[in-house]
Structure 1
Amino acid sequence: MISSNVSSIQAHQTFMNNNANNIANVNTDGFRPNDTRMTNSSDDTVTADTRLADDNGSEKSQTNLAKELPDQISITAAVSANVNAIRTQDAMYGSLLDIKV
């Protein structure tokens, strides 16, 4: 269903926003990044659950670029897959309408 693809895109947008904020604050002393987890619910929707990362006691930024940069790649791939699924569904519905008319 298109609605599950749309909810996934919206959740990944939240994930990307948090990710970008974490990277933007990589040089901010005392910064604690947001930790984002993606969850699927029983009604086929995807949500992004965000919490403040655990404090490791560092006075420097606690952003881990080794985690954040690969996350950006996976977020981009997930959004691309959902957009392609929506395009395919749209093309299929258009073909069905052409047959009915």
Structure 2
Amino acid sequence: MISSNVSSIMSNQTYMNNNAGNVANVNTDSYIPRNTTISETQNGSTQANTSLATDNGSKQSQTDLSKELTDQISIENTTKANVQSIRTQNEMLGSLLDIKG
């Protein structure tokens, strides 16, 4: 179970890295942002899939700040939930070891 939480955290780190790059290039002419989707793998973990957004031919950056900033909130909340799950699992295992010992 912990491995799926770690996998999700790593996928969301990739997502945040791409998101941060998009925000950093909001004023870069002709910049095409990276889109990130997170999908489940066959073994139950997750992976981040990155692709370039569709180029609309604009001479200005095509980054949509409203999308990027709301995505950051979602990424942060998902990561917090995964970290809390790992903490809870760690506490439960510690309690079991204390009872057994």
> Where on the TM-score scale, by shorter chain, does this alignment land: which range?
over 0.9
1:41 maps to a residue whose letter is T
- Number of residue pairs the alignment of both structures matches: 101
- Residue in structure 2 matched with residue 95 of structure 1 by the alignment: 95
Once the 2 structures are TM-superposed, how far is the Cα of residue 66 of structure 1 from its aligned partner? 1.3
Kindly report structure 1 stretches of 4+ aligned residues shifted beyond 2 Å: none
TM alignment of 1:77-88, pairs within 5 A: 77-88=77-88
TM-score normalised to structure 2 length: 0.98
Matches within 5 A, 1:1-101: 1-101=1-101
Superimposed CA distance per residue, residues 51-91 of structure 1 (whole angstroms, 9 cap, x where no aligned partner):
01110110100000111000000000000000000000000
Superimposed CA distance per residue, residues 13-70 of structure 1 (whole angstroms, 9 cap, x where no aligned partner): 0000000000000000000000000101221101100001110110100000111000
Distance 1:71 1:79 in 2: 12
Name the SS of the counterpart of 1:51 in structure 2.
strand
Structure 1: segments with no counterpart, 5+ residues? none
TM-score with structure 1 setting the length: 0.98
Gaps of 5+ in 2: none
Percent of aligned positions that are identical: 59
CA RMSD of aligned residues (A): 0.5
